[in-house]
Amino acid sequence: MAKTRSANCGPECLNRSPDSEAVVETTENRKRSRSQFPDESLIKTRSPAKWRSPRGCTGKLLCSPKSPRKRLSDQFSQRPKWNPRDPSQMQAVKEALHVATAPTNVACRKDEQKRILEFCKACIEQEKAGSLYVCGSPGTGKSLSVDKVKDLLAVRSKEVGFQSLDTLAINCTSLTNTSKIFSKILEKFHYCKKTSDGFSPLQHLQNLFSHKKQPSSGKMMLIIVDEMDYLITKDCAVLHNLFMLTTFPFSRCILIGIANAINLADRFLPKLESLNCKPVVITFHAYSKDQILKILHHRLMVLQFDVFQPLALEFCARKVAAASGDMRKALGVCRSAVEVLEAQLRDATRNQDTDIVMFDHMNIALSKAVKSAVVDTIQSLPQHQQIILCSLVKLFRQCKKNATTLGDLNKAYSETCKSSQIPAVGTLEFTNMCKVLSDQGLLKLGQSREDKLKRVTLQIDSSDITFAFKGNRFFSNLPGVAMI
């Protein structure tokens, strides 16, 4: 299992103070926050007879031709400063930056949302089952985007007069065992027949979708399976059976699986292809610096005042983009920077003359968070991806260069594997793994028509890689790698 952290919530969720419980995402609080924003009116004033792209969901402010930096400084220079000593203002800032506070619109994910929406729309219109696999590294807005599309579908299917869509959202971290997923789906289909007839829930579902007459008045069912990595078993049987449900002649399932990219290439997709039920794949790439900045800016718009020095926000966005492109991390770092300022204001011995989060506050928060986050990411990578990183550092040191090509990296990787008697993966899988490392913000891949000619550079400090493997017996015993 690639992920070790808690499901949809960064460490800050664990440390939440009792009064910040109010930000836990509830339908009520989502409704409340939505109504303050322009995009709700966009949804409401749409012509009811038409499905539209979710492009309109993004506020007009984003369309300004100015650079993000310029826009940001304009916004900040026009707004009043906050009073960090005012507890209610401080609480509002922390809520705006809390991962559990649902943003009104999901900035920078218009295309992905549009593709998901169009896919579901086509299934509903044609009354045809189908499956989608949404993947990407942590904190790239996958769950958020799918959730938003789910809400849009509910609104729009009512507007266009479709039979309402049944929706089932399952977070796999809550399942006591992987095959429980089938009983959850069966329950949602209001399937009352006694299951003591010797058939498993999976067999009941297969049976159900093999015959025309179905309960639940034949409605289409949108099944969202989040944190699907947890269903990956040795033989991937649960996953295969789940996706196969969409291939039965009378299946009415629109299945959306959401998972991290790490297990994608080498695990279950090839088998699904051979079973003729390969899902449509939508990849969420790590957020870039500009995207992180834009999202932070959007989230801070709910506040009437200016909290961050623009340079401090930009610094956070740049560092998080280079480390992982994880929005959860960016929000955590910003909250932590606010807390650094808060602590300094509380410290009576300090002569604190600033009432805004400055570059230095952000720097302290970043050095606490990002540094260890990169090392954590490296340490939780699958072994072959770790070998690729080690081979790259070794190659750079040997050649005294800081760039190479994918072809040369593949050679260095194969040599490392050979000398440690580990079977190397094939070229295609190697290339896919490098793309995953690039998505994680660890490598940078250049553009070239031929994969092997793509330029490879490191996006992180090579000392983070050395540090991550310090004390790791396997890596310190790898011939030639011990030197890194």
Q: Using CB under 5 A as the criterion, which residues of the chain lie in contact with Mg ion when the complex forms?
A: 143
**Which partner, Mg ion, ligand ATP, none, binds residue 68 by CB below 5 to 8 Å per kind?**
none
Q: Are 327 and 293 in contact (CB under 8 A)?
A: no
103 in contact with ligand ATP (CB under 6 A): yes
Q: Per the structure block, which two tokens stand in for 393?
A: 């550092």
260 in contact with ligand ATP (CB under 6 A): yes
109 in contact with ligand ATP (CB under 6 A): yes
**263: which DSSP letter?**
G
**Which partner, Mg ion, ligand ATP, none, binds residue 238 by CB below 5 to 8 Å per kind?**
none
Stretch that binds ligand ATP, among 105-113, 115-123, 243-251, 444-452 (CB under 6 A): 105-113
Q: Are 384 and 425 in contact (CB under 8 A)?
A: yes
Q: Which is nearer to ligand ATP, 260 or 404 (CB)?
A: 260
Q: How far is the CB of 449 from ligand ATP (least distance, A)?
A: 30
**97: which DSSP letter?**
T
Q: How far is the CB of 172 from ligand ATP (least distance, A)?
A: 11
Please list every residue from 178 through 197 that binds ligand ATP, using CB under 6 A.
none
Could you tell me where the DSSP H helices lie in 277-426?
289-300, 310-323, 327-346, 359-379, 383-399, 406-419
Please list every residue from 140 through 159 that binds ligand ATP, using CB under 6 A.
140-144
Please list every residue from 281 through 300 that binds ligand ATP, using CB under 6 A.
284, 295, 299
Q: How far is the CB of 146 from Mg ion (least distance, A)?
A: 8
Please list every residue from 1 through 20 that binds ligand ATP, using CB under 6 A.
8
CA 458, CA 258: separation in Å to the nearest integer? 28
Residue 120: alpha-carbon gap to chain centroid: 20
Selected from 90, 106, 172, 300, the binder of ligand ATP by CB under 6 A is: 106
139 in contact with ligand ATP (CB under 6 A): yes
Q: How far is the CB of 138 from Mg ion (least distance, A)?
A: 7
Q: Which is nearer to Mg ion, 101 or 143 (CB)?
A: 143
Give the number of residues in contact with ligand ATP, rule: CB under 6 A: 21
CA 349, CA 415: separation in Å to the nearest integer? 58
Q: Are 435 and 410 in contact (CB under 8 A)?
A: no
Q: Which is nearer to Mg ion, 109 or 219 (CB)?
A: 109
Residue nearest to ligand ATP (CB): 141
Q: Per the structure block, which two tokens stand in for 355?
A: 């009432």
Q: Are 202 and 146 in contact (CB under 8 A)?
A: no
CA 65, CA 389: separation in Å to the nearest integer? 39
CA 163, CA 151: separation in Å to the nearest integer? 15
Stretch that binds ligand ATP, among 71-79, 107-115, 350-358, 385-393 (CB under 6 A): 107-115
Q: How far is the CB of 157 from ligand ATP (least distance, A)?
A: 23
Q: Per the structure block, which two tokens stand in for 413?
A: 């990787």
329 in contact with ligand ATP (CB under 6 A): no
SS3 of residue 455 by DSSP: strand
Q: Are 263 and 223 in contact (CB under 8 A)?
A: no
**Burial (CB count <10 Å: 0-12, 13-18, 19+), residue 427:** middle
99 in contact with ligand ATP (CB under 6 A): yes
Comparing C-alpha atoms, which of 294, 299, 293, 263 is closest to residue 281?
Answer: 263
Q: Are 89 and 83 in contact (CB under 8 A)?
A: yes
327 in contact with ligand ATP (CB under 6 A): yes
Selected from 108, 172, 225, 460, the binder of ligand ATP by CB under 6 A is: 108
Q: How far is the CB of 420 from ligand ATP (least distance, A)?
A: 31
SS3 of residue 401 by DSSP: coil
417 in contact with ligand ATP (CB under 6 A): no
Which phi and psi angles does 434 have, rounded to 5°? -65, -35
Q: How far is the CB of 227 from ligand ATP (least distance, A)?
A: 6
Applying CB under 6 A, the residues found at the interface with ligand ATP are: 8, 99, 103, 106-109, 136, 138-144, 260, 284, 295, 299, 327-328
